[in-house]
Amino acid sequence: MTTTLITNIAELTTNTAEHGTLRDAALVIDGDRVAWVGPASSAPAADTRHDAGGRAVLPGWVDSHTHLVFAGDRTAEFAARMAGKPYTAGGIATTVAATRAATDDELAAVLRRHVAEAVAQGTTYIETKTGYGLTVADELRSARIAGSAADEVTFLGAHLVPPGSDPDSYVDLVIAEMLPAVAPYVGWADVFCETGAFDADQSRAVLQAAAAHGLGLRVHGNQLGPGPGVALAVELGAASVDHCTYLSQSDVDALAGSDTVATLLPACDLSTRQPLPDARRLIDAGATIALATNCNPGSSYTTSMAYCVTTAVLQMRLSITEAVAAATIGAAKSLNRTDIGHLGVGARADVHLIDAPSITHLAYRPGIPLTHAVWRAGNPSTL
Ligand code: NIG
């Protein structure tokens, strides 16, 4: 196995209790794993040497919430929203129609293009969802395609009741036919638990059936208004409840007393003219938060984790350390992964070298593409 020494690192964010943040540091990759971290002055020899040039290194971004199996374009919906029209999630049906009409190759190409765009910006681990098929055949096809380029795949057959369907009959279809068909191709199931999508009882039924298939649970909740999504996610021990834009005190208390990660999607809130979630309140209460892009053609068309981190610092009152942690190790926790999101010895070698001496520059220089080099599971993609 080839070893690579990355040295002359001005600031190394490890996200580990053992090493914390190191100055004048080095890191050794052995194959796909981190083999050593410590002061540059005591770094061991390696087969190849990469001079970081006094730049900062942090774990690659973990984007734990995207919807990248889609076709079509919703620019007009976005423009109407910027002119004052509210976001209702009804546009999901537009993407469903375009996705059903697309070929497998077209859907796979869209997925690959967005994953490549994300990796070029420092994302090294990415989740994506089905949810724009909404028939057994189209959800199965979406799940298979998703697995061709994403690290984790989530079944979101309960994204919206397709136009013309009866809600309870559709839930029955999801449980009786979609889940058994799709379960072998996915690790997770998700439900959009929101007024206009699925209520608490319908969401619970889908999630309990998914758990019986051995799938991990995620919930879209409290996005467009207060609702039962967070409470349901905590009740069922979901790994993550995503959006969390409208939280009651009991939602915050429930999250703080649970292992369910509150995944915040600030790019979505900005693009849909919603308030930003109260990340400070969640952290101060003791909840674990993650940041993710929610990249999709309707509510959040960005693959930039840096944009989410910058927003979290500038507009949500997180420290840069908190925001980077949420976009790396917090997001890893939301995917039940302990081998990513940090740069401890033995971690997957997902390394992000930025063109700045410290992570502070991610917020200090908003909008500047700072990614300089990326190693994904030890494989370099120097930019
Ligand atoms: O996370 N909330 C539901 N699903 C997506 C929206 C998808 C769309 O508008 O196409 C979301 O925002």
What pLDDT, on the 0 to 100 scale, is given for residue 381? 83
Ligand 1 centroid, distance to 359 Cα (angstroms): 30
**Residue 122 CA neighbour count, 13 Å, CB half:** 29
CA 346 to chain centre: 23
Report the amino acid identity of residue 33: R
Average pLDDT of span 188-210:
98
Q: Is the pLDDT of residue 382 over 60?
A: no
Average pLDDT of span 106-127:
98
Average pLDDT of span 159-174:
96
Sheet holding 240-243, edge to edge: 61-63, 123-129, 152-158, 188-193, 216-221, 240-243, 261-264, 289-291
Residues of the chain above pLDDT 70, percent: 99
Q: Tell me if 381 sits within 8 A of 375, measured CB to CB.
A: yes
Pocket of ligand 1 (CB under 6 A): 67, 89, 91-92, 95, 192, 220, 223, 268, 294, 296, 298-299
Average pLDDT taken over every residue of the chain: 97
What pLDDT, on the 0 to 100 scale, is given for residue 1? 81
Q: Which atom of ligand 1 is nearest to the CA of 299?
A: 9
Q: Tell me if 35 sits within 8 A of 29, measured CB to CB.
A: yes
Q: Is the pLDDT of residue 214 over 70?
A: yes
Q: How far is residue 284 from each of residues 256, 293, 310, 320, measured CA to CA in Å?
A: 9, 23, 20, 15
Ligand 1 centroid, distance to 339 Cα (angstroms): 29
Which residues are registered as beta bridge partners of 106? none
Which of 67, 134, 222 to mutate for ligand 1's pocket (most ligand atoms within 8 Å of CB)?
67
Q: Which atom of ligand 1 is nearest to the CA of 272?
A: 12
Q: Is the pLDDT of residue 178 over 50?
A: yes
Ligand 1 centroid, distance to 17 Cα (angstroms): 36
What pLDDT, on the 0 to 100 scale, is given for residue 383? 45
Which residues are registered as beta bridge partners of 48? 4
**Looking at ligand 1, which residue's alpha carbon is closest to its atom 8?**
298
**Looking at ligand 1, which residue's alpha carbon is closest to its atom 6?**
299
In sequence order, what E strands does 131-187 have?
Answer: 152-158
Q: Which atom of ligand 1 is nearest to the CA of 220?
A: 2
Ligand 1 centroid, distance to 348 Cα (angstroms): 30
Could you report the per-residue pLDDT of 216-265, keeping only the tens digit for each? 999 999 999 999 999 999 999 999 999 999 999 999 999 999 999 999 99
Q: Is the pLDDT of residue 285 over 90?
A: yes
Ligand 1 centroid, distance to 92 Cα (angstroms): 7
Q: What is the pTM of this model?
A: 0.98
Looking at residue 335, the DSSP 8-state letter turns out to be: T
Average pLDDT of span 322-332:
98
* Beta carbons within 8 Å of 379's beta carbon, 6+ residues apart: 32
Handedness of CA 280, 282, 288, 291 (dihedral sign): negative
Average pLDDT of span 321-339:
98
Could you report the per-residue pLDDT of 26-73, keeping only the tens digit for each? 999 999 999 999 999 999 999 999 999 999 999 999 999 999 999 999
Could you report the per-residue pLDDT of 78-94, keeping only the tens digit for each? 999 999 999 998 899 99
Q: DSSP string covering 45-80, please?
A: P-SEEEEEEEEEEEEPEEE--B-----S--HHHHHH
**Looking at ligand 1, which residue's alpha carbon is closest to its atom 5?**
299
Q: Is the pLDDT of residue 356 over 50?
A: yes
The three-state DSSP-derived secondary structure of 207-223 is HHHHHHCCCEEEEEECC
Q: Which atom of ligand 1 is nearest to the CA of 268?
A: 12
Cβ burial 102-127 (10 Å sphere, 16+ → b, else e): beeeebbebbeebbeebbebbbbbbb
**Looking at ligand 1, which residue's alpha carbon is closest to its atom 12?**
299
Average pLDDT of span 94-110:
98
Ligand 1 centroid, distance to 23 Cα (angstroms): 41
CA dist 160 and 90 (Å) reads: 8
What pLDDT, on the 0 to 100 scale, is given for residue 203? 98
**Looking at ligand 1, which residue's alpha carbon is closest to its atom 11?**
299
DSSP H/E element including 229: helix 229-235
What pLDDT, on the 0 to 100 scale, is given for residue 55? 98
Residues of the chain above pLDDT 90, percent: 98
CA dist 99 and 70 (Å) reads: 5
